[in-house]
Amino acid sequence: MDLPSADLMWSFFVAAVNSYRRDMVTRPFPSDFIDKSGEKNFDKLKETTDRCPTLTDVNRNSHKCDSSLMELMKLVLNPRSYTLKRINMEELREMHFELLDNNANPDFAFEVVHSQINDEKFRCLKGTSKSIFAFHGSKLENFYSILNCGLISNLNKVSLYGEGIYLSNDLRIVLHYSPSGVGWRNSIFGSSLSCVALCEMIDHPDVKCNTKSLSGEDGACNSQSTTQNSSISRRAKIPGSEGGEIPEKYFVVRNDDLVRINYLLLYCPQSNVSLASRITKNFVSRHKFLIVMLCYSMILIIAGVANSKWFKN
């Protein structure tokens, strides 16, 4: 796994540990931090995560890190259901050009690579049905549990149009549901982050929406997700909905198995510099003495060469 992906996964976990809703958002909970009585030891868990240096330092000095921290990091960074892979924004834009708003460009993008078992399960359920792509917004502290356990409709607090998982094909709408949250202070991305999930839904009657949301009008939908209206029954009303029909650009998924996260869009409001610059800055700040000594040595070498008889001749 690449360093940025591991850093983001650890940042999600730290955000969950420090949340006031930690009992809910730290699922799956590390078994090593459950007491004999069955109680979750959040104080010990937080103390352990607080001791974590940068991932660069962990890789370089893993033998110096305490065993409890290393075991915890192995668990968090090696989930069974998925892994992350950083991708270039241009790659994502080529696949979902019409979905990505030029006015809301993320700083980084990551692909969620699902396990073979989960991928086959989703593809089998999908069959020959169409795919619909849309965004899901959530607080930073929720993403550890979301990535490990999936999107779960009964945990969603938004229910104006009925119970379900809420998505939209308008990125600007979803950003309101993804406020900046405090992550990990040693992250190469900075401690303040915002994340949006780009999801794939199976075109099914349990994916409630206004059919205009699927028409691709005004560039709202990606060409891959555009479906002929004649093949879709009108399904914009959920029984018991307080808000009436589901408005355009919104989707409400009533069956958790019909949706999965394919990509993560990361926003880093604290800094506008590139990831490479951030890594370099982090390295320089932690190795100032070494860098100064190297520069001093280079100056002495250059001065020595310049004053040598060989150079003068």
Would you say residue 154 has pLDDT above 60? yes
pLDDT value, residue 90: 83
How high is the mean pLDDT of the chain?
Answer: 82
> Cβ(275)–Cβ(4) under 8 Å?
yes
What percent of the chain shows pLDDT beyond 90? Answer: 53
What percent of the chain shows pLDDT beyond 70? Answer: 77
Q: How many beta carbons lie within 10 A of that of residue 188, not counting itself?
A: 22
Q: At a CB cut-off of 8 Å and minimum separation 6, what does 284 contact?
A: 291
pLDDT value, residue 246: 82
| Maximum average pLDDT range among 6-10, 95-99, 212-216 | 6-10
pLDDT value, residue 276: 52
Backbone phi, psi, residue 197, to 5°: -100, 135
pLDDT value, residue 232: 41
Backbone phi, psi, residue 17, to 5°: -60, -35
Please state the pTM of the whole predicted model. 0.79
pLDDT tier, 309 (very low <50, low <70, confident <90, very high otherwise): low
| Maximum average pLDDT range among 231-235, 258-262, 299-303 | 258-262
pLDDT tier, 65 (very low <50, low <70, confident <90, very high otherwise): confident
pLDDT value, residue 311: 54
Dihedral of CA 168/170/171/173: which sign? negative
Average pLDDT over residues 49-73: 87
Would you say residue 277 has pLDDT above 80? no
Would you say residue 222 has pLDDT above 60? no
User: Can you tell me the distance from the alpha carbon of 216 to that of 173, in angstroms, rounded to the nearest whole number?
Assistant: 17
Average pLDDT over residues 162-169: 88
Would you say residue 58 has pLDDT above 90? no
pLDDT tier, 147 (very low <50, low <70, confident <90, very high otherwise): very high
| Beta partners for residue 196, in sequence order | 137, 265
Q: Give the residue, 233 or 15, on which the prediction is more confident.
A: 15
Would you say residue 150 has pLDDT above 50? yes
